[in-house]
């Protein structure tokens, strides 16, 4: 098995939040990943599903072409959770969840009294910084 799936994003990003822009894990393939392949060793099953939010062991991001060409090892079963030929991109929910996670990570533990307790926020977060592919988002009232 391959052990050397190395992403330059991993060393550049301190947290476990990954960029929504992911690349195919196949060697010499730099196309954007549209699906995540997960090997379930217990069931000898390779599950091809939507792009995972978090990178995990035994998960491999694949582009559309490699998703279609996917072949399982002998004796293994391939389960496709979604149509890989359909246009795939992060949903609004995914992007919002990612933005929230980054915002949480960037927020100081103590912001002093009065801040953050003024009810639900309605304004969109604004971008205040970039770190590699990550954007640090902050609400306008901060």
Each residue 9-48 as x (binds Zn ion by CB under 5 A) or -, in order, gives: ---------------x-x--x-x-----------------
Rounded CA separation 26/21 (Å)? 15
- CB nearer Zn ion, residue 29 or residue 128: 29
* Window 53 to 112, contacts with Zn ion (CB under 5 A): 63, 66
- Please say which residue, 20 or 101, places its beta carbon nearer to Zn ion: 20
Minimum CB–partner distance for residue 140 and Zn ion (Å): 39
Nearest CB to Zn ion, comparing residues 29 and 129: 29
| Shortest CB 129 distance to Zn ion, Å | 31
Interface with Zn ion (CB under 5 A), residue total 6
Q: Which residues bind Zn ion (CB under 5 A)?
A: 24, 26, 29, 31, 63, 66
């Amino acid at each position: 098995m391959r052990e050397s799936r190395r992403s330059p994003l991993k060393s550049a990003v301190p947290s476990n939040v990954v960029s929504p822009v992911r690349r195919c894990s196949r060697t010499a393939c730099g196309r954007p990943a549209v699906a995540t392949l997960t090997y379930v060793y217990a069931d000898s099953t390779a599950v091809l599903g939507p792009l995972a939010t978090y990178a995990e062991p035994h998960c491999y991001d694949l582009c559309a072409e490699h998703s279609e060409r996917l072949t399982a090892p002998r004796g293994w079963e391939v389960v496709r959770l979604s149509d890989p030929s359909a246009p795939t991109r992060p949903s609004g929910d995914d992007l919002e969840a990612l933005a929230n996670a980054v915002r949480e990570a960037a927020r100081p533990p103590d912001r002093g009294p009065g801040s953050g307790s003024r009810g639900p926020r309605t304004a969109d977060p604004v971008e205040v910084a970039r770190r590699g592919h990550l954007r640090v988002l902050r609400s306008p009232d901060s």
